[in-house]
Amino acid sequence: MNLFSESNLSPDILKAIGELGYEAPTEIQKQTIPFILTDIRDLIALAQTGTGKTAAFSLPILDMIDPTSRKIQFLVLCPTRELCLQITKDIKSYSKYIKGLKTTAVYGGSSIMEQIRSLKDKPQIIVGTPGRVIDLINRKALDFSEISWLVLDEADEMLSMGFKDDLETILSETPETKQTFLFSATMSKEVERISKNYLTKPHRISVGSINEVKKNISHEYYIVGYRQKKEALKRLIDANPNQYSIIFCRTRMETQEIADFLMQNGYAADALHGDLSQAQRDTVMKKFRLKNIDILVATDVAARGLDVNSLTHVIHFSLPDDPEVFVHRSGRTGRAGKDGISMALIKPEETRKLKQIKSVTKIEIHEKQVPTGEEIIKSQVEGVFERLFTEHTEFFAFDDSLIPDLSDFSKEELVHKLLQLQLRDLAMFYKDKSDLRNEKLNDERDAPFSRRERRRDDREGGSWSDRKGDRDRDRGRKPRRKSANMTRFFFNLGKKDNLKKVDMLDIINKATKSSKRRPDIGDIEIMEKFSFFEVEKDFQNDILRNLGSMKFKGKDMRAEVAN
């Protein structure tokens, strides 16, 4: 029995989703579909990615939309191109039997002229990213004056990416009579503010909470020195054979660096981040879904919209600042009733951040030791037998007469020889490798930005990166290099001024808003009394010229290029 038939959706929609294999609505769909069909209030819906949100908001609206009108009636805003394309694809699938209904996706990284031409077909539904929607509004190619429904999907991500001003500009172009639906994985202060300013007495639906973590995911963490993180990552991958995983990094630069490291070491891996063109993103996503690569290295933002149900592992190469992001990342494994493993690599000075994550999320995260070479080989042997007993496909015709006389060997001797052949290269690699767990304490003394330096810098209020460079020069080392395309700034405000990363993103975007495009933003480090941030070099003068005339919560701001 198809339980969607109880939702009072039209036969055309039920036929389309039936062909897609939809039988029973998810929890967010059970609560959202009847509400949108029968209520005129705005809505805030809190649910994680992968819970069926697109169908939850689009199915009831498709049931009510007027396909005979040539006006835009329904607008969906989302943070990334990937998610934009995924939502558009889903809506087109749901509405395939609704005659005259058209959906158009508008997003950056693709020809704006082609998108303007597609808008001449008078679509009733627009799915877009905020930046491109603003561009098309400015070109008079989009008119939202008569929309009936507005969806803000992944609202927390849009705000964390610095789209606050864009969202407010777009919302000002829409009628007050519309119905607004805000979908978010987390309820940050910025999301709360947007909801108070632009939603009217919204109804709230929450499916699961941060404390309702999946029970079928085991959580592990490994403390490693700064200089051993890549080596530790390699060992974790080798100690968990047959994995299909996502490795999460904080920045685009780190993502590409880790992906390059893995590929150079022979792993089927690739990177997914904001510097890739749409064609490159599509190629990487296709390879990962087809399992031509089994390791995807990604930023949190780039992985939005990626819906894969068979991930075995999630690896946090860098911890997120927000505990809810940790839950969100980890929840990408352990889907479809399968068990999953979440592993975090943390530096010694990050144990406090991990304690905060454990405290807020109530997740049991168990400390484990980075495996030794001997332990890795044992895991690899188990992995060979796992594939042997679970893989039943015959890939080629085999003539038994090709098997030589093996009567002189016992089955144990044969297995031993085959395993030696299979695992020879890996065994030779780890033959003389030291135990990383003995190196992490020595490494902490040399790690950049250690706890000792943090305390001293907080007391002295000086430039942390300058003294780190001096220390390295004193020891005969080269100072830590930043990307050749980025400028690193010292900023005079910090945690004591209630400055958060989302505020820093907003400040940077405002300081560079006169430019025709948005800058690439690198690392943002919020200290107690000051901060550092990285911005694309082309925008250096914009930052220096404009930021000094701005204020943050009534306080003067000052930025200077860090040495």
What share of the chain has pLDDT > 70, as a percent?
87
Cα distance between residue 334 and residue 330, in whole Å: 8
Cα distance between residue 260 and residue 267, in whole Å: 10
Domains of the chain: residue spans and CATH: 3-206 (3.40.50.300), 217-372 (3.40.50.300), 375-430 (no CATH), 448-561 (3.30.70.330)
Residue type, 427: A
Quickly state the pLDDT bin for 476 (edges 50, 70, 90). Answer: very low
Query: According to the model, what pLDDT value does residue 213 have?
Result: 56
Cα distance between residue 330 and residue 401, in whole Å: 49
Quickly state the pLDDT bin for 3 (edges 50, 70, 90). Answer: low
Quickly state the pLDDT bin for 466 (edges 50, 70, 90). Answer: very low
Per-residue tokens: 536: 């694309």
Query: According to the model, what pLDDT value does residue 451 have?
Result: 41
Quickly state the pLDDT bin for 341 (edges 50, 70, 90). Answer: very high
pLDDT tens figures, 318-328: 998 878 788 88
Cα distance between residue 509 and residue 494, in whole Å: 18
Quickly state the pLDDT bin for 226 (edges 50, 70, 90). Answer: confident
Query: According to the model, what pLDDT value does residue 185 have?
Result: 76
Segment 518-533 mean pLDDT:
85
Cα distance between residue 452 and residue 48, in whole Å: 38
Are 73 and 125 in contact, with CB atoms under 8 Å apart? Answer: yes
Quickly state the pLDDT bin for 49 (edges 50, 70, 90). Answer: low
CA nearest to 253, candidates 483, 484, 448, 447: 483
Q: What angle do CA 438, 440, 443 make, to 5 degrees?
A: 120
pLDDT tens figures, 110-127: 889 999 999 999 999 999
Query: According to the model, what pLDDT value does residue 457 have?
Result: 37
**Which 8-state DSSP code applies to residue 71?**
S
Per-residue tokens: 404: 């030589």
Query: According to the model, what pLDDT value does residue 484 have?
Result: 66
Quickly state the pLDDT bin for 468 (edges 50, 70, 90). Answer: very low
Average pLDDT, the chain: 83
Cα distance between residue 53 and residue 47, in whole Å: 8
Taking 60 as the threshold, does the pLDDT of residue 267 lie above it? Answer: yes
pLDDT tens figures, 363-390: 999 999 999 888 888 888 888 887 777 7
258 CB-contact burial (10 Å; exposed 0-12 / middle 13-18 / buried 19+): buried
Are 163 and 89 in contact, with CB atoms under 8 Å apart? Answer: no
Cα distance between residue 27 and residue 216, in whole Å: 18
Instruction: Please name the helix (run of DSSP H) or strand (run of DSSP E) that holds residue 257, with its range, or none.
Output: helix 252-264
Taking 90 as the threshold, does the pLDDT of residue 396 lie above it? Answer: no
